[in-house]
C-alpha cells in the first residue's frame, strides 16, 4: 500500500492501493532473460533475449500485465540453435537434381 498524508487535514490519512506490477518472468519461459530489474510497474515494456546458444522465436518485447503475466503479439520461446536448424532442415525436401522443393 502507498500512504498519502493530506497537507490540509493532518488528522486524516488517505490510502491508495498501487496497481500490481510484475515481479519476474514466468517460470515456463525457459532460457529467456531480460536486463530489467524487478519489480516493475504495470505496462512496463521489457526487451527479452535468450541464453547464449538459443534462438528467440516470437516477440522480443513484452508488456507487464501483473505478477508474472505479460502481453505480447506472439509468445516468446527459445530453441537451442542446433535443434532449431535441424528441425528447419528436416522439413526441406531435396530433389534428385539437388533443388529444394
Q: Which residues pair with 16 in a beta bridge?
A: 2
With b for 16 or more beta-carbon neighbours within 10 A and e for fewer, the 22-61 pattern comes to beebeeebebbebebeeebeeeeebebebeeebeeeebee
Q: What is the pLDDT of residues 1-10, one digit of tens each?
A: 343 444 444 4
Give CA separation, 2 vs 16, 37, 76, in Å: 6, 21, 33
Secondary structure, 3-state, 45-90: EEECEECCCEEEECCCEEEEEEECEEECCCCCEEEEHHHHHHHHHH
pTM above 0.85, yes or no: no
Report pLDDT digits (tens) over 55-87. 999 999 999 999 999 999 999 999 998 765 555
Amino acid at each position: 500500500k502507498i500512504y498519502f498524508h493530506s497537507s490540509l487535514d493532518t488528522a486524516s490519512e488517505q490510502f491508495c492501493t498501487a496497481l500490481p506490477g510484475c515481479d519476474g518472468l514466468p517460470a515456463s519461459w525457459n532460457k529467456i532473460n531480460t536486463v530489467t530489474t524487478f519489480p516493475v510497474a504495470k505496462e512496463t515494456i521489457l526487451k527479452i533475449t535468450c541464453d547464449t546458444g538459443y534462438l528467440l522465436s516470437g516477440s522480443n518485447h513484452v508488456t507487464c500485465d501483473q505478477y508474472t503475466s505479460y502481453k505480447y503479439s506472439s509468445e516468446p520461446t527459445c530453441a537451442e540453435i542446433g535443434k532449431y536448424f535441424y528441425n528447419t532442415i528436416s522439413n526441406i525436401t531435396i530433389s534428385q537434381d539437388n533443388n529444394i522443393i
